[in-house]
Amino acid sequence: MFSGKCLASIMPDMRKLLLYIIISACTAACHTPYEVSQKNASAVRMNADSLQTDSNILLMIAPYKHKLDAQMNEVIARTGNNLFRAQPEGTLNNLMADAMLWYVATQTELKPDMAMMNYGGVRLPQISSGSITVGKVYELMPFDNMLEVLELKGSDIKLLCNHIAANGGWPVSGLRFAIKEGKAQRISINGTAIESEKTYLLVTSDYVANGGDKADMLKNAVKRTAINYKVRDALLDYLKNKQTIQLEKDGRISID
C-alpha cells in the first residue's frame, strides 16, 4: 500500500504505479489455485517518457490512482500540536506505544501492563498539527508488524529497560524509569515499583518479540500470545477512536 507521500510521486514515475497494478492484480487472483502449464519469458524495454505521455496508459492508471488517493487522504483524526519523534521520550513515541496498549486492553480479553516499541519503528520525525490522514499513518508505520503480548518476569523487564536506556530511550506506555549512565533507574509499572519475581504482560511487535534490535531478553518470555493484528491498524483504530489528540511528554522516560 502506498503512503500519502508515495502517492505524490505516482504520476512522475509511471513505472512504479504500473508495477503496483500488476502486483494488485496478482494478489487479487491469489485465492484461485492455478497451475503453470508452460513458461515463456521475454524482455521488453519501456521508456518512462513515453509512459508519461501515453493517454491510454494514463486512462488505465486513473481508476487505481483515484482509489488510492481517496483511501490515503482520508482524515481520521486531528492533533492540536506538533508531534515529534525524540529520545529519551517523544510525543510520537508515546502515541505509538499508547495505541498498542489501548488496542490490546480494549479489543482483547488480555489485561496488559505496558507496551513498548523499538525506536527505529517510528519512521517519521514529525507529524504537524492539524489533520492526520491514513496515508500519514502509513508513513509513520510502513511495516506490517503484528502485535504480540509477552508474559515476562520482572527481572527480564529490568533487562529490557537497561537495553532501552543503553539505546537512548524507546517508545513505552505504562512503564516509567530514569536513565543514568546508560542504566535504567527507579523502574515502575503503572505507578508501582517493579518486582523481579512477578510476571507482567508486555505488548510489543512481533519484530521486537523475536529479539529484534537486540532485545534478546524477550525470548525468555514465560508465554507469548499472537494478537493477529497489525501495529499500524491498531494505531489507525486508536486515532479514529480519539478523533482529537493533544499529546505532551509526561516524563515516562527521563534523564537523571
> What are 28-80's pLDDT values in tens digits?
444 444 444 555 555 545 455 544 556 777 777 777 777 787 889 999 999 99
CA distance 179 to 185: 6
236: buried, middle or exposed (CB in 10 Å: 19+, 13-18, 0-12)?
buried
CA distance 91 to 162: 21
pLDDT of residue 185: 97
CA distance 248 to 79: 11
> Which has more pLDDT, 9 or 216?
216
Report the candidate in 27, 9, 10, 6 with the shortest Cα–Cα distance to residue 18: 10
- The tens digit of pLDDT for each residue in 130-185 reads 999 999 999 999 999 999 999 999 999 999 999 999 999 999 999 999 999 999 99
pLDDT of residue 1: 41
Q: Spell out the domains of the chain, with CATH numbers in brackets.
A: 4-31+45-73 (no CATH), 76-255 (3.90.780.10)
CA distance 141 to 136: 9
- The tens digit of pLDDT for each residue in 219-233 reads 999 999 999 999 999
Report the candidate in 160, 201, 203, 199 with the shortest Cα–Cα distance to residue 183: 160
Is residue 131 within 8 A of residue 75, CB to CB? The reply is yes
